[in-house]
Structures are given as C-alpha cells and as structure tokens.
A and B are shown apart, each in its own frame.
Chain A
Amino acid sequence: MTWSATARGAHQPDNTAFTQQRLPAWQPLLSASIALPLFFCAGLAFIGLGLGLYYSSNGIKELEYDYTGDSGTGNCSVCAAADQGRAPPPPCSCAWNFSLPELFQGPVYLYYELTNFYQNNRRYGVSRDDEQLSGLPSALRHPVNECAPYQLSAAGLPIAPCGAIANSLFNDSFSLWHQRLPGGLYVEVPLDRSGIAWWTDYHVKFRNPPLVNGSLALAFQGTAPPPNWRRPVYELSPDPNNTGFINQDFVVWMRTAALPTFRKLYARIRQGNYSAGLPRGAYRVNITYNYPVRAFGGHKLLIFSSISWMGGKNPFLGIAYLVVGSLCILTGFVMLIVYIRYQDQDDDDEE
C-alpha cells in the first residue's frame, strides 16, 4: 500500500516511543526504604574495608634513613660537605649502621627516596626523546629540541640519552652487609636488582639501537653521554641485558614521579637466606655518595620496606575509607531521624 503525499494523516508524526518521548525509563525513586538501608550498608561496608586496609597498611614495616649528610647526622656528612654544589662531585663513600632486634618480615624492598626533587616540572618532564629511547637509529643521532640544553654536547655530538631527565640519573649505589653474630663478619646480602622496572618499560618501551657488528658501543658511536655521566650509556652494566637504554636503574629513573617527594625501587631482597626477610642482627649499608641534592635543599633517604597485598605502606586509604564509612552511617542516622519527624508531622497534618 502506498501513501500519497497528500493523503490524510500523511504528515502525522510516527507513533514510536522515541518520537513521543515515551521511552521506558528507570526512575529510581528515593524512598526511605531504599535510601536509608543504602546509607547504612555502604557505611558498614566501608568501615569494614577501611579497617582491613588500615591494619594491612599498619602491618607493613618500614625502616628509613636520611643519608643526605646534614651536619651531625652521621658519617655521610663528610661526603655531603665534599660535594658543595659541584656536579659531578668526587666519589665518596659512607655507611649506615643499624641493627634489627627481630626478623624484618620479607619480601623486603629497598627504596631510595628523594625530596624536593621536581621530576614533575613540565620542562624537566618533556626533556627526553622517546623515539631515541625506543631505539630508533635516526632519533639517536638527532635528538628532539625538547632535550635542550642536553641535546648536543659541547663538541656538537648528539647526546644519548638526551635531555634533563637522563642527565640527572640517580647514581648513588648501595650494598647491604649483615653481621649475624655480634663481633662477627659482615656478609653481603644479595640484592636482586632485576625486574625493578615496569615489565612494559623494560620489554617494550625502552629498546637499544640495533647493534653494529654485534657491538652496542659501536651502535652508540658518534654520540656523547650526558654531561653528568661518568661513563657512556652502553657501559652502565656489564650485563648486555641490563645496559644501554634498557638498564633497569635508568628505566626506573626515566619513569618520572608525579610528586616532588618520591621513592624509587632500588632492589629486592629475596635470595638465599634472606628470602623470608632480614633476620635479626646488625647491618651496614655501604653508600657510594655521588648524587648532589643539598644545592636545592633536597634530601636523600634509604628505605627498607615490606609490602602487602595492597602495595606499599599507605595509611591514608584505610583512614579515608573509615571516615567515609562513618559519615555514611552518621548521615543515615540523621536522615532516619529527620524522616521519622516529618513522617509524624505528615500524619498529624492528615488527621
């Protein structure tokens, strides 16, 4: 059947739920029987979750030591006094001695923490060349302008890796020694320094440029290391899987932190006798003190920490859950009272 344009009703709008605005709709009516239980249930759930989070966060042990070397804070102050704004400073060593009265439950993570360090400054953050870091040979020779002033060396050679982030690579190193018996020998605790970077960064994002004649050094020929570095990037580690752009410390450093106070993973302790944690006894951390922070009022810290299912120590989340949960219940009670009062009033009115 065909309709002529002038047929009666030809211009009648379609009778569909959409055009007539009669779409079936869910209209959540906030009656007391829904709203009040909702608040109480949410409150209880949050308090439960908050308690769990709080206690698991509390269960995490942390041991930290500020080795910046402000005067009178230990033997690192000597090194600190030596650097006095010079970058790079001469190598210097110092140590941190501590003892554990009981087992430090593992797995134990060793972090370094920097404060007042603005890795999140925009100009700092953009000063890198992701193409270069992904191993593109062309980018290796031609770093992007954002890397300036660490784009080209004084000799005019392209810097690899270029940019302010790479140039400021954290270069203190630590070794941990354990004295099992008082007066006994210090034994080096093995630090597992592999797998400290994101899997995706280490395996996908950061790539070395293609080897030239099987040599990484040749691949980097014609480039200069960043001015602060003591050795070129291909000599960061003797291990071929941990050198060049895929050096784990380098990769960790290049994943810039969001806040001016940040921790970065240095190593994990999970090998040999220490897989269960650090047994009690005296310990010493030998620190190679290279990194200057006192010039800008920064601090360097070393942290031993255990972790839980929810990651590192973070009491805030648990407390937040507790607060929100309590607020829910409180509001629920207020609403209940208000509701009952008004209910009575309405009844009175009706009578």
Chain B
Amino acid sequence: MNIEHERYLQANNKEFNSIFVYPNNTIKTSKYSVFNFLPLNLFEQFQRLANAYFLILLFLQLIPQISSLTWYTTMTPLMVVLSITAVKDAIDDLKRHQSDDRVNNLPVLLLVNGKMKEDKWMNVQVGDIIKLENNQPVTADILLLSSSEPYSLTYIETADLDGETNLKVKQAISVTSDMEDHLELLSAFNGEVRCEAPNNKLDRFSGILTYKGKNYFLDHDKLLLRGCIIRNTDWCYGLVIYTGPDTKLMQNSGKSTFKRTQIDHLMNVLVLWIFLGLGIICFVLAVGHGIWQNKKGYHFQIFLPWEKYVSSSAVSAILIFWSYFIILNTMVPISLYVSVEIIRLGNSLYINWDRKMFYAPRNTPAQARTTTLNEELGQVKYVFSDKTGTLTQNIMIFNKCSINGKLYGDTYDKDGQRVTVSEKEKVDFSYNKLADPKFSFYDKTLVEAVKKGDHWVHLFFRSLSLCHTVMSEEKVEGMLVYQAQSPDEGALVTAARNFGFVFRSRTSETVILVEMGKTRVYQLLTILDFNNVRKRMSVIVRTPEDRIMLFCKGADTIICELLHPSCSSLCDVTMEHLDDYASEGLRTLMVAYRELDEAFFQDWSKRHNEACLSLENRESRLSSIYEEVEKDLMLLGVTAIEDKLQDGVPETIIILNKAKIRLWVLTGDKQETAVNIAYSCNLFEDEMDEVFIVEGRDDETIRKELRTARNKMKPESLLDSDPINIYLTTKPKLPFEIPEEVANGNYGLIINGYSLAYALEGNLELELLRTACMCKGVICCRMTPLQKAQVVELMKRYKKVVTLAIGDGANDVSMIKAAHIGVGISGQEGVQAMLNSDFAFSQFQYLQRLLLVHGRWSYNRMCKFLSYFFYKNFTFTLVHFWYAFFNGFSAQTVYETWFITCYNLVYTSLPVLGMSLFDQIVLKTTYWTMISHVIIWGSLGFYFCMSFLLYSDGLCLAFPDVFQFLGVVRNALNQPQMLLSIILSVVLCMLPVIGYQFLKPLFWPISVDKVFDRIQECRRLPRQSPVRTKLKHSSTRRSAYAFSHKHGFGALITSGQTMKSRMSKKNTLFSKR
C-alpha cells in the first residue's frame, strides 16, 4: 500500500493522471453490498454478548450428552432477533445507497474535447475541467480557474461545511483568470499541479501550479470545496484536484463517536451479573446433582442405568452443569437489546410526531436523529447553550435610534403612554419603491423627519448607507438582496434603505446610492476596516458635490473619545439615550462623521498607501494612520438594534430552573452582549445577590476571583475542614466525583474565554467547577469552539451528571459532540450543528417539552421496562431452579419446549413493549390505553390459542416426536384444582402491588405527586409574573456594540484594481525563487 505523499496532476491529461490511480468522484457512505451483507451483518451482531451467548448455546445443544432442550427452543428466538436487527440495518443501508446514488448521478458540465458536455458527478476525474453555475453545489474540490465576475472573484456559501451562511470570496490567480470562458483556451490549458495529499483540514491548502514554465503558489483561497454552493457568480471554471473520498468534505465525515447512555451501561453490567448469577446457579445445581447421583441415582440404576461415559457422579455433575446452562438460558435476555431498540425507536417517533414541537413558520418538526438517547433526556442536570441563534433568533431588528439628540422609535398614544407592540401600526414606506417589504418600523415621526428633509436625519441615514461592507445583489429590477457579514450590519443598511437611502450597488471604487429617489454616485476612497481593538469602522468618500466625507460607526465608548469638543452637550443627551437602550437589552452603535479638506486627505492618503505597502508592522502602522483621520468627529446619533430572543425563551429558562436544571450560556460573543441577553432571558435576574465576573489574565488573579466568589456564596467551602477539601487532599486520584454544593443565595457568574483558558488548566479547573456549579446561572463569553467542548468535558469528568448541549452553528459542533446529548437548532446558521446533533428542532423553547415530557416519560418507561423485563425472565427461569430439588437435579424442564420457545418471543413481548410505549407518568397510577388492553388480553388469548394448536391431535399425530403434549391442556384445564390455583396465584401476585400502590402516596408522597404538583405550578407561574422587568444597573451593562467580531470584506472591496497588479507581482516573485 503506497501512501500518497503529494498529489501530482496535469489539467486535461487523462493518460497522465491515470498513472496515479486517483479515485473517481463516486462517494460511498453505505456499509454493505448485496454480497457482503449477510456475513458482515452477522459478524457485527454476534459481537453482542447476548447474541454470542446464544450462538454458543446452539452449539452446546448439539452435544447429545448435555442437550437438555431441543435445538429450536433457542434457535427460533435467536433467528427472530437476528432478522429484526438485520432488516433494520438493511433498511438503513438502503437509504444510504439511495442518497449516494442520487448524489453520484447529479449532472455537471464537463469540458471534453473543447466542448462542454453534461455528465454525472461520479464520472468526474482528477484533472478534468468543469463548469459550475450560480447556485450549484460544487462537485469536487476544485482549483478555481476563472469566473464571470471581475478579477475572477467567486462567491461561495459554506453552510454545509462549517455552518456559516455569510458569503466567502475565492479568487483565481491571474494567469488562469485570463482564460475566462474561452473553451479553446481552457482545453489547451495544461498546467501541472503539485499539492498536498488529501487531508481533512478545511482551511488549509498549499500547492504549486506550473504553467508555461512558471510556478504559481496556490493556497486555500483558490480552492472551491465540495459541499459549498456558488452564489452571486454566473459561472466559474475549475480544475478538479480532489475527488470523491479524497475531498475535504468526505475526509471530514469521519466515524462519529457512538454515544451510549447510562442505561446502556447498566444493561451491560446487568447482563454480566446475570452471567455470573447463571454460573453460580448452574454450579449449585451441578453440586446438587453430584450428591443426588451418589445417594439416590446410583441405586436407581435398576430402572435408569448410567450412561457408559458416566464413570462417577462427578462426571455426571459436570455434564449437568452444562445442561442447566442451556435450560436457564431464558435468564439471559436475548430480546433485551431488540426490545430496547424498539422502545427507543417508538419514543423517538413520538418526538418526531409531536405537534407541540413543530415550528410552523419554518415547517420543521422536531427530529430525534439518534434514537438511542431518549431516556437520558430525563436525567439532564446541566444545559449548555449557545446564545446566537439559539436563545436569540439571530435576527437583528433596527428598533430605535437617536439622531441629533432626538429619540425615535418609541410610539406613544395621545395620553403619552407607551404603546405595546400588538397595537402598533406599521409605518408606510410606499413612497420608496426600493423599500424592503419585510422591514417594519412603528414611529411615524422619523418618516416625517425624512420626508421633511431634516438635514441631520438625512446625514444619519446617508452615513448608514455608505459606511458598511455589505454586498448587494439585484437579480430583478428593484429587488435588492443584501449579503451582509453580520446581521447587525444588514439591519442597519436595510433600515437606511427603507427610509430612502438605498444602497444599490458598489464597485471597488464607487458606492451607488438612491437617495430619496435620486441616484447618486459616491467615490469610495478608503475603507478603514473594523477590528476588535478599534471597535469601529469608517469610510472616506467623495460625494457627488466633490466634498470628502468620513463616516464612522462604532462602539460608543470608543467614539465618544474621538468626538469634537463641540458635540459634548449632544454627547451627554445621547448617553442618556444609550442607557435607556442598554436597559432594554438593545445593541447600540454610535454614528459620526467628519468632513475632510482636500489637502489633508491627499497627504493622509499618501501616507496610508505607504503604510499599506509596508511589510513590517503593517497592522500597527495602519491603525495609527487610521487614528490620524478618525478624530474630531461630529456626532450624528445612535442606532439601537434588537437582538430578538426566540419565542418563549425566558419562560423556558424559568421552568428549567424550577426543574433544577442549570443553564450555562457558552457564547463566542462579547461579554456585554451575552450579559445583556442573560438578563433579558431571565438567566440573570436583578434580584440576584451578586453576579461575579472572572476576567483575570493570570492564574493567581483568576484563583483569587474564584475564591472570593466562593467565599461569598459558601464561606465554609474554603475551610480546611470542608469535607470536599479533605476529600480532595486525601484522594487526588482520578476519577472522582465532586458532590453537590449549595450556595447561600442566588448568584451568577460571568467568565470570559481568556480567563477560561487559564481556568481550564491544572488545578484551577476544580476551583472553577466548584464555584460555577454553585451559581444559578453561568455565562462564558468569547469562547472558542474548543473551549465550549472543554467546559462540557470538565463537567462530565467531575460531576457524573448528564449534560446537554444546545446550539445552532458550526462553532457549537464540538460542544454538541462532547455532551451526553447534543441538540441542534435547525435555524439560520446552516445545518452543521443539526447534522452532528442527537436531537434537532427549531425553537429553544421546545427544550422544555423534550426534557420534561419526552425525556421524563422515556426514562420512566425504560426503567419500568427493565424491571418488568427482568422480572418476567427471572420468574420464568428460576422455577427450574426450584424444580431441580424435586427431580434429582437432572435438568428436567417444568415447561414443555414450545412454551419455552414462545414465552419470551410471543407470549410476553408485547405486554412489556406495550407498557413501555404507552405508559405515561400523569398520575400515580398505571396508564392503560386501548392498545394496552388489546395487547395484554390479546397475548393471554393468544397463549391459549397457541396451546390448543400446539397440543392439538392433528399436529401431535403428524409429528409425535416434536409435539409430545397431546391433550395436556384439555386434561389440565378440566381440573378444578388447576383453575383454583391459577386464581390464587394471580390474586396473590396482585394484592401486594395494589397495597403498595395504595400506601405509597400516604407514606412517601415525594416522588410523582410532588413532581406533578411542581410541573403544574411551573406551568402556571410564568403566565402570572411578567417576565421582562425594567433593569436597574443599566449603565454598567451598556454598549453592546453591534458588530460581528470578524474582519470585514473591506480589504477585498478596496483592493480592487491594485490587487491584480500586486498579485501578479507576488506570483512572479515566487516563480523567480
């Protein structure tokens, strides 16, 4: 087997590429084929302990010396169980085959002999050139050659790969982009590519293109990955580099780790214990047999001589051990796994079918993607939630603004009272042909101000429509679609658009606005892009009137310091407005402008260019250049954007809290925003005793912060005499469990990612865990995806509780995979989270039903099922143990073979299953549906029918050796003593249960009754108390500035013309070397 170290290929040269035997573009996710299904599937099934046991048993039964049961008693259940599983596996695999086929047969345009020819995906080979059109998925990992857009830019959406819906830009190198769509040039293209071997790193690629004797460096900006979708690009051509299983998408879809529940673990332990018990029982019986043979069997030989091979009673005892091993097989629950699977499948279907978890607006029902974790849902103690898209809708709504010291956005009725949302009337934007119909605003005064031509308002919106990095797309005249990098930005530009300042399109040098119906072209001179330190962005434009203007927007704390002193009074007024906005949980941005004089700008621009081209300290030089121009700003106003919570989130969190389920918010977002949301969704309350903030930057500070917090919450936990401290000092070995600690009040904890990086290391992690677990709510902000998973792992390691992670984005995938249960919100941020989740639905509020209804029922059902299942098997089997004392321990069965065969499989399986599928914990009683009745009475009736059939004259006479029990039922049921005994046994078994059921709520009223009361109470409460309260400490939580924390498209937009020349220069430099 030769491992590929480097990929080497030549475009349009099939002969050459075929030397390397690259796979074609077929993908195969299926597991079996027609031929290997049977052996492979059986092999997998026999890896299960119980199945393997029955296989061994089957062989034991073939030995006549010990065979105490006929072969079909164990063969039949084994066959049934194996075939049920096999059919299920086959159906699953068939689905995979179908989806593989569908994908493999998708059409793609392939360049063959100078013409474009339609072919199937699976026929694409390494080295082929293919053409992709707008909105098409990318066929394989291809090297971008050229596209319809200027500079061969190509926009792609990577939702399937990393879950991000914002567009990404790829750019072809200039030498290939010149070929554009000239097929003769493309056919003649014979560039050779050397690149790294297939790997699973999505953000890395390096290779060298050799074309016409020159080398060009290739990085991942030139590679379109399979799974992406082409957007905003009419066509593009690409050279296929990796195909099928070699693509980064397929390389990433590794085997997902199989999650097991505690019940799974328990079942395995139980099966092992049963084996042990079985061995002990068999041993006891074998010893008994030895003694019996010695004392009685030896003398009974006149009627029952020993077999020739039985030389002593010891030999006989050894044989009888195995005979009993066979007879007592019904104690090993062969149908346990199958039954458990059926129950879990049923409970998963209930989740899929639940209309209360169906979200009509997006037409998505809840989905149990893993069917094996249902009962674990009922034990969840800690919920780790993402913020954006999970607690919030990730829809930003331009809600309010303050322009030049005047508030807009609140609506008042005649008496000066605020009007609630439902009564509000939408503002009519019909004067604006380009308005977005989905946008709604309620304050008429702002529209009136725009219409009146208020200078400040116009300038405010002009600034919003110019100062951004949004891309616009206009497929149909007048239908603008914005591609924004962050939803905040999109909301601002859309707002400006609706009020009459429409951002229509942009090139690298111009921005075209439609201002109150008139098209105006602004020259875009520079974009001073956003970054996390600057917390602001600016643009410098030349207006049609030939004025040079700088527009800036950013976090208020930053902008305030850059304002011209003349705005100080306006600034004070605006600050008050900011406080109001912050108290409502709105995300705010400050907008300002400055007019530059020509000479100053030219001078600045020159220095800016120099800084741009500098190779050393480019970043810091740029930012100091930026600071030169971003000063003496004139304040325009403030925007307030509402980060809309999902429906029912605060109510859900209250209820989860009442159910003693702790919620931790793990977000990549900024602290301010996260805290804001925590308050508005009731995770934090104003009534809390204290909210601790951990933001230390070294071990000692963080330790001190954590300890101070713990000192407040539970001072004795710091003493040496605290049992946990003693425990920790004496037993430092893993794994151990930290017991629950209770704080003396209601506390919250905020910790940011930087501190967390330290806290997750070494001995600080226990401090962190103990402190955090005492708090009612915990917020971790600025988290990397890895840290999210680490926090979950930390909890799993030391707390031995069931954790649930819920999120919607690609950054939540690691945490979803790490938690016991991963829940994906099938929301806006793509499907990555959902694909990795165990349960998926579209609203956070459904978590309540998932945990408190489905989870609880599943758990209860599973527990009842296990008790019932083991009970029925044990009662059935242990009769043989008792009977052994009467028959000389000779492995004689009490029941006849057919009853043993059918007992687990036919007679008793349905009542057990029925109970575990239909039982509900509503009241302290059993829950008998029609189906339960049908099943129970049906099974009983079926038993009698089967008995009469199996003991019938015809069957018994046809096979006298197989059906030996002719007439037994008839004769036995004729005996009044028999019927009386049945009645007695039934009553004797039922009475204690009934008595217990009656007395239990009197003696121990805790369990169901109290929980039931509690649920009732929880349902009632949130409706009574208003959820959102006016917040007190608003000013401390201000400035949740609205920006995504990524770098913008700014560089790409402005680089435009210059980019091309610089690129080629760089490439030639590279090739010279």
Task: Give the interface of A toward B (CB within 8 A).
Answer: 6, 8-15, 19-21, 23-30, 32, 35, 38-39, 42, 46, 49, 53, 85, 87, 116-118, 120-125, 127, 129-131, 133-134, 136, 144-145, 149, 164, 167-168, 198-201, 204-205, 258-260, 292, 295-297, 309-311, 314, 317, 320-321, 324, 327-328, 331, 335, 338-339, 342
Contacts and interface: CB of A to CB of B under 8 A. Distances in A.
Contacts of A317: 977, 980-981, 984
A339 B363 contact: no
Contacts, number: 199
B988 A324 contact: yes
Contact of B68 (A122, A205, A321): A122
A197 B363 CA distance: 73
B277 interface: no
Which 7 A/B pairs are nearest by Cβ-Cβ distance?
A: A200-B967, A19-B353, A122-B892, A296-B299, A23-B929, A168-B303, A130-B960
B928 A26 contact: yes
Given A23-B931, A27-B927, A30-B998, A205 B961 contact: no
Given A12-B360, A25-B928, A259-B886, A20 B354 contact: yes
A69 to B, nearest CB: 16
B363 A10 contact: yes
A324 B998 CA distance: 19
Which of A25, A116, A133 is the most central at the interface, judged by chain B CB atoms within 10 Å of its CB? A25
Interface stretch (B126-134, B257-265, B716-724, B917-925): B917-925
Given A13-B355, A30-B997, A338-B1002, A149 B305 contact: yes
B304 A124 contact: yes
B980 A23 contact: no
Contacts of B187: none
Contact of B352 (A6, A9, A13, A311): A13
Given A120-B886, A198-B971, A320-B984, A27 B925 contact: yes
Nearest to B967: A200
A339 B1001 CA distance: 11
Nearest to A167: B303
A265 B170 CA distance: 99
Given A9-B360, A85-B302, A122-B890, A29 B929 contact: no
Contacts of A38: 994
Contacts of B977: 310-311, 314, 317
B53 to A, nearest CB: 22
Given A20-B355, A311-B976, A342-B1002, A296 B296 contact: yes
B930 A122 contact: no
Contacts of B307: 123
Contacts of B923: 27, 29
A167 B355 CA distance: 72
Given A21-B350, A335-B995, 6 more contacts: A20-B354, A118-B297, A123-B304, A145-B64, A205-B956, A317-B977
User: Which residue of B925, B971, B980 has the most chain A CB atoms within 10 A of its CB atom?
Assistant: B980
A331 B957 contact: no
Interface in B878-935: 886-888, 890-893, 918, 920, 922-933
Contacts of B953: 200, 204
- Interface hub of A30, A42, A127, A167 (most chain B Cβ within 10 A): A30
B736 interface: no
B355 A198 contact: no
B987 interface: yes
Contact of A118 (B360, B887, B1003): B887
Contact of B296 (A118, A122, A309): A118
A260 B886 contact: yes
A125 B68 CA distance: 11
Contacts of A311: 975-977
Contacts of B924: 29
B360 A8 contact: yes
23 contacts: A11-B365, A12-B365, A21-B350, A25-B932, A27-B925, A27-B928, A28-B926, A29-B924, A39-B994, A42-B987, A46-B987, A85-B302, A118-B304, A118-B888, A122-B323, A122-B887, A149-B305, A200-B966, A204-B957, A260-B888, A317-B984, A331-B995, A335-B999
A297 B991 contact: no
A95 to B, nearest CB: 25
A152 to B, nearest CB: 14
B419 to A, nearest CB: 31
Q: Which of B64, B349, B924, B998 is the most central at the interface, judged by chain A CB atoms within 10 Å of its CB?
A: B998
B887 A260 contact: yes
